[in-house]
């Protein structure tokens, strides 16, 4: 289905991603973990073609993604919708219009200019918001919503594209633990109910373990771990994060009962 074959990305003398290879043979929920600068965002951006790889090839259902240009590239980008840590909504615009933005790639410039949306698109936007439990907020400005609600609006906008893959770059990094769980569960539900592939960069181990079928660990641009949550032992995690023997699972927890210092410790591990 999805195949990364020796994908490398260099920025000048810096190699952000080094010969990354993996195969996903059915829609899964995949978590990518690794400390800051490991290459996680670059990997997602290459898949979405926000940036081009320096060498290597990506194929999806036999089609070479690497070579896509123009309209074919835009079509691919709508097939793999991306959500971000900072939601990237238009703050002063109402929620439903933000969601309808997900249809921009298939609408004419003229209808975009005048904010003209077909009724059926408006209905599907409301249905998607309903599904994510935030339909009551549809007429509000996006900026009036909590972070967790805004991230669900961003997920709704992504779903409006009816994508095969949802890419999420640290989708819960700005959220409190309760909202983080709601957002992760929404992504999990979308994966299970719609059979869409979800690939999420995550900054905590327990989130990857709890919600993902498979975890890919990156270190210095290389994939150093690729396995199930069960295979992700403390030793494997220590290797991914390049931490010393003082590395503790407890420092990576984002469960509701977790105290803030625990999260800060992981941030420290991730940053060093
Ligand atoms: N546009 C760019 N120009 C130059 N260097 C870049 C660019 N984007 C990323 N890099 C470099 O590539 C490496 C990988 O960066 P990337 O953002 O993919 O890491 P990351 O794992 O997502 O980190 P974080 O957890 O901090 O988000 C880093 O050394 C970074 O400085
Ligand atoms: Mg990143």
Q: What is the pLDDT of residues 176-206, one digit of tens each?
A: 999 999 999 999 999 999 999 999 999 889 9
pLDDT greater than 90 at residue 264: no
18/52 same-domain check: yes
Q: Which listed ligand is nearest to 16 at the C-alpha?
A: 1
pLDDT greater than 90 at residue 111: no
Q: Please give the pLDDT value at position 236.
A: 93
User: What is the pLDDT averaged over residues 23-28?
Assistant: 97
* Percent of all residues in the chain with a pLDDT value above 70, rounded to a whole number: 85
Residue 43 located in a structural domain: yes
Using the mean position of ligand 2's atoms as its centre, give its distance from the Cα of residue 47 in Å. Answer: 14
Q: Please give the pLDDT value at position 258.
A: 36
Using the mean position of ligand 1's atoms as its centre, give its distance from the Cα of residue 41 in Å. Answer: 7
Please write down the HEC assignment for all residues of the chain.
Answer: CEEEEEEEEEECCEEEEEEEEEEECCCCEEEEECCCCCCHHHHHHHHCCCCCCCEEEEEECCEECCCCCHHHHHHHHHHEEEEECCCCCCCCCEHHHHHHHHHHHHCCHHHHHCCCCCHHHHHHHHHHHHHCCCHHHCCCEHHHCCHHHHHHHHHHHHHHCCCCEEEEECCCCCCCHHHHHHHHHHHHHHHHHHCCEEEEECCCHHHHHHHCCEEEEEECCEEEEEECHHHCCHHHHHHHHCCCCCCCHHHHCCCCCCCHHHHHHHHHHHHC
Q: Please give the pLDDT value at position 109.
A: 59
117/1 same-domain check: no
37 C-beta closer than 6 A to ligand 1: yes
Q: Which domain holds residue 151?
A: 89-164
Using the mean position of ligand 1's atoms as its centre, give its distance from the Cα of residue 31 in Å. Answer: 18
Using the mean position of ligand 1's atoms as its centre, give its distance from the Cα of residue 272 in Å. Answer: 15
76/134 same-domain check: no
Residue 34 located in a structural domain: yes
Higher pLDDT, 53 or 252: 53
Residue 101 located in a structural domain: yes
196/81 same-domain check: yes
Task: Indicate the average pLDDT of the chain.
Answer: 89
Residue 216 located in a structural domain: yes
Residue 220 located in a structural domain: yes
Ligand 1 atom with the smallest distance to the CA of 43 is 18
The total number of structural domains that make up the chain: 2
Residue 250 located in a structural domain: no
111/74 same-domain check: no
73/94 same-domain check: no
Residue 272 located in a structural domain: no
pLDDT tens by residue, 67-107? 999 999 999 999 999 999 999 999 999 999 999 987 866 66
157 C-beta closer than 6 A to ligand 1: no
5/55 same-domain check: yes
Residue 202 located in a structural domain: yes
pLDDT greater than 90 at residue 240: yes
Q: Please give the pLDDT value at position 246.
A: 62
The residues whose Cβ lies within 5 A of ligand 2, an ion, are 40-41
222/235 same-domain check: yes
Domain at 46, CATH number: 3.40.50.300
Q: Which listed ligand is nearest to 270 at the C-alpha?
A: 1
Using the mean position of ligand 1's atoms as its centre, give its distance from the Cα of residue 51 in Å. Answer: 12
């Amino acid at each position: 289905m999805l195949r990364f074959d020796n994908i490398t990305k260099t920025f000048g003398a810096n190699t952000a991603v080094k010969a990354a290879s993996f195969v996903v043979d059915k829609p899964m929920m995949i978590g990518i973990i690794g400390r800051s600068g490991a290459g996680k965002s670059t990997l997602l951006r290459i898949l979405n073609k926000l940036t081009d790889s320096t060498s290597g090839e990506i194929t999806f259902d036999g089609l070479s993604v690497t070579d896509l240009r123009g309209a074919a590239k835009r079509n691919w980008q709508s097939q793999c919708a991306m959500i971000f840590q900072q939601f990237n909504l238009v703050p002063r615009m109402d929620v439903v219009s933000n969601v309808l933005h997900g249809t921009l790639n298939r609408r004419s410039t003229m209808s975009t200019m005048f904010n003209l949306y077909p009724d059926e698109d408006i209905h599907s936007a409301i249905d998607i918001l309903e599904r994510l439990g935030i339909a009551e907020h549809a007429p509000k400005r996006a900026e009036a919503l909590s972070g967790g609600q805004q991230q669900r609006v961003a997920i709704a906008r992504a779903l409006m594209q009816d994508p095969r893959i949802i890419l999420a770059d640290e989708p819960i990094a700005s959220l409190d633990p309760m909202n983080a769980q709601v957002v992760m569960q929404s992504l999990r539900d979308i994966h299970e109910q719609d059979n869409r592939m979800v690939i999420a960069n995550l900054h905590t181990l327990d989130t990857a373990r709890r919600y993902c079928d498979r975890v890919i660990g990156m270190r210095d641009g290389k994939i150093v771990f690729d396995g199930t949550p069960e295979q992700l032992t403390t030793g494997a995690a220590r290797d991914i994060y390049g931490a010393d023997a003082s590395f503790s699972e407890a420092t990576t927890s984002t469960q509701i009962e977790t105290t803030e210092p625990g999260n800060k410790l992981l941030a420290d591990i991730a940053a060093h």
